[in-house]
Structure formats: structure tokens, C-alpha cells
Structure 1
Amino acid sequence: MQQYFVKGEAKSSVVIEDKDTVKHMFQVMRLAKDDQVVLVFDDGIKRLARVADENDHRFELIEELPDQVELPVNVTIACGFPKGDKLEFLAQKTTELGASQLWAFPADWSVVKWDSKKIAKKVEKLQKIALGAAEQSKRNRVPEVNLFASKAEFLAMLNQFDTILIAYEESAKAGERATLVEALSKSSNGDQILFIFGPEGGLSPDEVAQFETKGAHKVGLGPRIMRAETAPLYALSVVSFALEMQQ
């Protein structure tokens, strides 16, 4: 069954106003009167709804659904600005794997440089990708995308997290394997966890030290060195296995 995210509060009768959503519902999927879909409002609760009027794009809510597929912890993935379309790839795949936020920042060894205008357009594009991936994977929430114009802005946001983990290549090379397992074993439902990843060139020792002053811990992600767009997917898979699949 098709699922759509709707801005605002759930009401017994709701009119869909977002043009892209309306187009997909009534032109692509050709919804007609009495067809049923799942609508998810700002509260993250899924509700079964039926088309009451296809011309006015009005739905009537039928019932709340118990389906809850969010990770038990809130995971933010933060990456140094990568090259090409890797953020687009990450917006889709980290959403499918349960991330609550996707962040990116200008790392010391990032090759790309984006001004505020470029960042604004990029965020808009990535948010649409996250929305589509959240609908496809039947999420209860759409991840938020935030791109920081400076590393200082990124650093200023780190105090909100319960746990900060740096995926550091040198830790992986040294065979470090315990920190990630220990951090997840100590986590509680609802915790805010941040994973920091470098761009293609990795994270510089100076910025790793900056993150550590904010309470971050270096972790290895297994014995193999992964690409910038692969490591976040590995981390989210580990979180799911540790906190969902073994419960």
C-alpha cells in the first residue's frame, strides 16, 4: 500500500495540498474514490486513509496503525563534504537504514567547496530524496538534512548528542574493535547518537582532536577500509543488528 507524508496535524478529514504529492497520488498512481493509502503526519503515527474526493484531493482517516519501524535510538550521520553525487546516494540509503538526520560539513580534506546558495539548493534536493526513500521504506519519520557552511557551525551543534563516534581510518588500521560495541551496549532507547565520517581523503588529525574535545570517541569499523559512502551504511547496519535484531 502506498504511503505518503503529510505536513501538519492529523484530522478526520484532510486535503492534500503539496503539488508533488498530489501529482504522484492522482496522476502517477491514479488514485480514485475509496482507494486507500497510508498517511503519516508530523506525529509519526501511520494512519489508514481513503480517498473521499479525488477532485479536491480530500482523504478521510479510517484508523491509526500500530506499525513503528524507527530505530530505538536517534542516529545522525555526519560526513565531510564528498565529491560528486555521493550525498544524494547517502540521503537515500541512510534513510532506508533508519538514520534520523543526515549532516555534512566542510572537512579539512574535502575537495568540494560550496557557498550558501549552493548549499540551500543541495539541501532542498537531498530532502526530496530523503522523503521519497522514507515513503518507499515505510518510515515513520523523514530524516532531516542539514549542510553546514563552516566547520565551526558543525562543532557548535555537537553538544546535543549523548554519544559521538568518529569513524577513523587509523583506528581501523590499528585493529580497534571494542569501542563501537561498548557504546551501543550502553545506549538507551531515545539516545542521540552521532557518527562522524570523513570525505574521500579522510579526517585530518587536527579535526579529530577538535571532535574529541567535544567528547567524541574514535572507533574502527572492522578490518577493512571502506569508501566514504560505504562506511555510514555499515555503521547503521551495526546499530540495527545490535539494537533491533538481537532484542
Structure 2
Amino acid sequence: MQRYFAENVEDIFYIEEEDFHHITRVMRMKFGDELYCVNHQEQAARCSIEKITENQVVAKVVQWIEEKKELPVSVSIVSGLPKGDKLEWIIQKGTELGASKFIPFIAARSVVKWDEKKSDKKLVRWNKIAKEAAEQSHRHRMPEVMAPVKLKGLIELGSYYDLKLIAYEEEAKAGEISILASNLKQLEYGKSILVVFGPEGGLTEAEVTALKENGFQTCGLGPRILRTETAPLYLLSAVSYHYELLR
């Protein structure tokens, strides 16, 4: 059954714009058909279509659903701007794996140069990818994709998180295997994690030093060196295994 994020007033959901088009033109749904709706309070409901106007689908709640779909901790992924469509892949798959926020990072070794003139279109596309992935994976939360930040902005954002990590390949090369696991054991449910991943060329020593001076910890992700688009998915899988499968 299709799932949509939408505004609601009590037991009525109002679905508009692209989701309206998807319901009426792509799915060709009609009066009485059922779908799932999720509001901004992360509450999900099974609904029945009550009315279809020229630009709005009105759906009435049949049953509110109690289910846990979100990771017990909030994980924000910082990705050094990669080449091509790799960031879109990270956003899509990272959303499926439970990330709560994506923060593109203009790193020293990022080959891609951020074009402010195209920024609005890029952000709209990235957030659309996150929304569609959240609906497909039946999540209750639609992750936010922020505008790219530089090192100073990243350090400032770090002050809002309970745990700040740097996935650093030099730690992996040195055989470091305990920092991630030990931190996850100590971190309580409901807390927040910010994890930084470098672009294809990795983070510079200067960037790592600056982050460490501001409370970030470097950690390895196992003995193998992972690509920039693979490492965030490994991290999210590890968090899910620790908090969801081991409990």
C-alpha cells in the first residue's frame, strides 16, 4: 500500500502537489481506495480516500498505526561532496537505512565545486529523493538535506550533537576497531550522532585536526577501505544492528 507524508487536521489528511499527481494520475486511485499517511509528528495511519478535487486528495483515517520505524538514535551523515550522482545514492540508501539528516560538506579535496546559482534546484532534488526513499521504506520521518557547509560551519553544527565521529581511513589502515563499538555501547537511546565522511580523496590532516580539536573522534570502519558512497551505509547498518537487532 502506498505511503505519503501529508498535513492533517485531526482524522483528515490533505494531499497535494506531486503526491496528488501520483495518486490520481500514476496510481489512478479513486474514492474508497486506501493508502497510508504520515504527519509531521511522525504518526502513521491507514486512510481511505474521501474526496478528490482539482488539486487535492482528502483522506480520512481508518486506523492510527502504532509502529516503530525510526532508529532509536538520531544519525546525521556528513558527506564530503563527491563526484557525479554519488551523493544522491547516499541520500537514497541512507534514508532507507534510517539516517535523520544529510549534510554535504565542501571539503578541501572535493573535486566538485558547489555552484550557488544552482543550489536551490539541487536542494529541492536532494530533498525529493529523501522524501521518496522515506515513503518507499515506510519511515515515519522524512530526513532533511541541508545546504553544503564549509569546515567552520560543520564545527558549529557539531555543538548540537551528543557524539561526533570522523570515519577516517588512516584509523582503518592502523587497525582501529573499538572506538565505534565502544561509543555505541555508551550512547543512550534518544541521543544524536554526527558522522563525517570525506570525499573520494579523503579528509586532509588539517581538517581532521580541526575537527578533533572541537570534540570529534576518529574511528575506523573495519579493516577494509570503503568508498565515499559505501562508508555511510556501513555506519548506518552498524548502528541499526547495535540498537535494533541486538536489543
TM range (shorter): over 0.9
Q: What is the alpha-carbon distance in structure 1 between the residues aligned to residue 193 and residue 107 of structure 2? A: 20
Q: What is the alpha-carbon distance in structure 1 between the residues aligned to residue 220 and residue 38 of structure 2? A: 37
Q: Which residue of 2 aligns with 1:20?
A: 18
- Work out whether residues 50 and 62 of structure 1, in 8 Å CA contact, stay in contact via their aligned partners in 2: yes
- C-alpha root-mean-square deviation of aligned residues, in Å? 1.2
Q: Which residue of 1 aligns with 2:123?
A: 123
Q: Which residue of 2 aligns with 1:198?
A: 198
- Work out whether residues 167 and 219 of structure 2, in 8 Å CA contact, stay in contact via their aligned partners in 1: yes
Q: Which residue of 1 aligns with 2:45?
A: 47
- Work out whether residues 116 and 149 of structure 1, in 8 Å CA contact, stay in contact via their aligned partners in 2: no
Count of residue correspondences: 245
Find the residue that maps to 2:37 and give its secondary structure: strand
Code of the residue aligned with 2:70 in structure 1: it is E
Code of the residue aligned with 2:171 in structure 1: it is S
Q: Deviations over 1:184-217 (max 9, x none)?
A: 0001111110110000000001000111122111
Q: What is the alpha-carbon distance in structure 2 between the residues aligned to residue 78 and residue 191 of structure 1? A: 17
Q: What is the alpha-carbon distance in structure 2 between the residues aligned to residue 173 and residue 221 of structure 1? A: 10
Change over 3 Å in CA distance of 1:152–1:119 after alignment to 2? farther
Find the residue that maps to 1:140 and give its secondary structure: coil
Give the gaps of 5 or more residues in structure 1: none
Q: Which residue of 2 aligns with 1:186?
A: 186
Q: Deviations over 1:154-195 (max 9, x none)?
A: 221110000011000000000000000001000111111011
Q: What is the alpha-carbon distance in structure 2 between the residues aligned to residue 227 and residue 116 of structure 1? A: 27
Code of the residue aligned with 1:30 in structure 2: it is R
Q: What is the alpha-carbon distance in structure 1 between the residues aligned to residue 129 and residue 9 of structure 2? A: 24
Give, in angstroms, the shift of residue 148 of structure 1: 2.2
Q: Deviations over 1:99-149 (max 9, x none)?
A: 000111111111111132223221110000000000000001010001224
**1:30 pairs with one of 28, 31, 45:** 28
Give, in angstroms, the shift of residue 12 of structure 1: 2.1
Aligned pairs for 1:131-170 within 5 A? 131-170=131-170
Give, in angstroms, the shift of residue 5 of structure 1: 0.5
Find the residue that maps to 2:196 and give its secondary structure: strand
Code of the residue aligned with 2:241 in structure 1: it is F
Q: Which residue of 2 aligns with 1:227?
A: 227
Find the residue that maps to 1:53 and give its secondary structure: strand
Q: What is the alpha-carbon distance in structure 1 between the residues aligned to residue 67 and residue 209 of structure 2? A: 42
TM-score by length of 1: 0.96
Q: What is the alpha-carbon distance in structure 2 between the residues aligned to residue 120 and residue 54 of structure 1? A: 31
